[in-house]
Amino acid sequence: MRFDLVDLRLFCEVADAGSITRGAERCALALAAASTRIRNMEDALGAPLLERSRQGVTPTPAGRILIKHARTILAQTARLREDLGAYAGGLSGEVRLLANTNALTEFIPEALSRFLAEHPHVSINLEERLSDEIVGLVAEGVGDIGIVAGTVDMGSLETFPFRSDRFVVVTSAIHPLAQRQSMTFADVLGCDLVGLDRASSLQRFLSAKAVREGRPLRLRVQLRSFDAVCRLVECGVGVGIVPETTARRAARTMSLGIVDLTDDWAQRELTICVRSLQGLAPYARDLVESLKSS
């Protein structure tokens, strides 16, 4: 068997994404080239590595063994690149940071800007995921650092406090709900909504909550940022659910009503999680410390 590093990284990305197409995109490969590489890996092994269906792909037992060893090899390669980086004049390393929507949009940009300015030889691979997905990926070694809602079970991961925030309902200043002090998510389901793109972790979270309530989200439009949601809400398109920090900032320049959500999950204690702080590369440990103190 002859698997190169591109093969190993591609297979891990395909398994993580559950899709050869998305895995190929993450590796900057054409779909045809990615499919050929995986087929050649299976031919060399003499056994299938992926189970293919209309819903996507999942690793076979042989594929899961390959992933385990591939991640070890890729981690060792990254450490080698780190150790030689100072001599080669290239990047000292890369950190894979996974974050939920709230952390990604409200708190991480400023924190990362300071860290990257102080660490010119480090790059960050930042990806948005649901909190429970992040915990699993960090535990498996797919992600180096995760930032998640504190309500999820962290298992054996090491955790550190990051930020506190809560979700609120934003309305136009003349909307009937603008005069209310608080409401439940069930109340929101009776309104037209302005939300984030369906791929965002928050939108998937809210959709799952709506399913549990037995009612659909009445989404009128979906956008790519909380600020854009607030602008459409101000125009009377519907109401939105955004972090309170976003709502308060937007209200300085927009005519908005802000209504508290009373559901327990609306309060968000954001938490940093890692498999082992001491097991991280030095620059990744520096990032954890930067996030904790930012």
pLDDT digits (tens, 9 = 90+) for 30-56: 999 999 999 999 999 999 999 999 889
In tens, the pLDDT along 170-194 reads 999 999 999 999 999 999 999 999 9
Q: Amino acid letter at 51?
A: E
In tens, the pLDDT along 83-104 reads 666 555 555 678 999 998 889 8
Query: How far apart (Å, rounded) are the C-alpha atoms in residues 177 and 182?
Result: 9
- The helix (run of H) or strand (run of E) holding residue 19 is none
According to the model, what pLDDT value does residue 106 have?
85
Q: Determine the average pLDDT of the residues in 18-30.
A: 92
On the 0-12 / 13-18 / 19+ scale of CB atoms within 10 A, 1 is exposed
Buried b (16+ CB within 10 A) or exposed e, 89-125: eeebbbbbbbbbbbbbbbbbeebbeebeeebeebebe
In tens, the pLDDT along 204-215 reads 889 999 999 999
**Which residue(s) pair with 125 in the sheet?**
96
Query: How far apart (Å, rounded) are the C-alpha atoms in residues 281 and 126?
Result: 17
With a cut of 70, say whether residue 123 has pLDDT above it.
yes
Query: How far apart (Å, rounded) are the C-alpha atoms in residues 183 and 181?
Result: 7
The answer to whether 191 and 218 have CB atoms below 8 angstroms apart is: yes
Q: For the beta carbon of residue 138, count every other beta carbon within 10 angstroms.
A: 25
The answer to whether 200 and 101 have CB atoms below 8 angstroms apart is: yes
- The helix (run of H) or strand (run of E) holding residue 180 is none
Q: Determine the average pLDDT of the residues in 65-71.
A: 91
Which pTM was predicted?
0.64
According to the model, what pLDDT value does residue 88 have?
56
* 3-state SS assignment for residue 188: helix
According to the model, what pLDDT value does residue 89 have?
55
On the 0-12 / 13-18 / 19+ scale of CB atoms within 10 A, 34 is buried
- Name the pLDDT band for 273 (thresholds 50, 70, 90): very high
Which domains occur in the chain, in start order? 5-85 (1.10.10.10), 91-293 (3.40.190.290)
The answer to whether 3 and 41 have CB atoms below 8 angstroms apart is: yes
With a cut of 90, say whether residue 149 has pLDDT above it.
no
Query: How far apart (Å, rounded) are the C-alpha atoms in residues 102 and 113?
Result: 17
- Hey, what long-range contacts does 23-29 have (CB within 8 A, 24 or more apart)? none
With a cut of 80, say whether residue 64 has pLDDT above it.
yes
Query: How far apart (Å, rounded) are the C-alpha atoms in residues 72 and 8?
Result: 10
The answer to whether 24 and 32 have CB atoms below 8 angstroms apart is: no
